[in-house]
Amino acid sequence: MARLKMEYDSSNEEHREVMDRLVEEGAAILDGIDEDGEPIYKFDMDILEEVLPELHQVFMDDMDKVLIGLYERGLIEVSYDENLNAEMSVSAEGKQALEDAGFDMDDFGNNDYEEEEF
């Protein structure tokens, strides 16, 4: 599950209908309420890709932009093992930036990241 921020207006009928559908399909679960009273959702990205591939792609594009930006700023380092599996190390500042961008660090990368001092 990925906890991601998205532009969502609970007073917008179309937004509510989409979120209701995603919850019914198991692609989203209510995770809490933000300081403005708006719902926060967690998304099962595999189910989301099946149910609403356009939204899945938007999330993936946004995640790529955030991760590339952090990499370019030196806040994320990527190394590869002998099987070319990527391993990511995230600085404390990078972790905070990911959380600020809406990533749930408990779920990020299935906890396959390491927090390091850079």
Residue 2 sits in the same domain as residue 41: yes
Residue 64 sits in the same domain as residue 111: yes
Q: Report the SS3 class of residue 22.
A: helix
Residue 41 sits in the same domain as residue 82: no
Give the CA dihedral 57, 61, 22, 42, nearest 10 degrees. Answer: 150
Provide the β-strand partners of residue 39: 33
Residue 43 sits in the same domain as residue 66: no
What is the predicted pLDDT for the residue at 115? 46
What is the predicted pLDDT for the residue at 9? 65
Residue 115 sits in the same domain as residue 64: yes
Q: How far is 27 from 102, CA to CA, in rounded Å?
A: 17
Residue 117 sits in the same domain as residue 96: yes
8 Å CB contact between 23 and 30? yes
Q: How far is 22 from 17, CA to CA, in rounded Å?
A: 9
Residue 65 sits in the same domain as residue 117: yes
Residue 48 sits in the same domain as residue 65: no
Residue 40 sits in the same domain as residue 68: no
pLDDT in tens, the chain (118 residues): 555 555 566 677 888 898 999 999 999 998 888 888 888 888 899 999 999 999 999 988 988 898 899 999 999 998 999 999 988 888 999 989 888 887 777 655 434 444 444 4
C-alpha 46 chain-centroid distance: 13
What is the predicted pLDDT for the residue at 8? 62
Full domain range(s) for residue 89 = 60-118
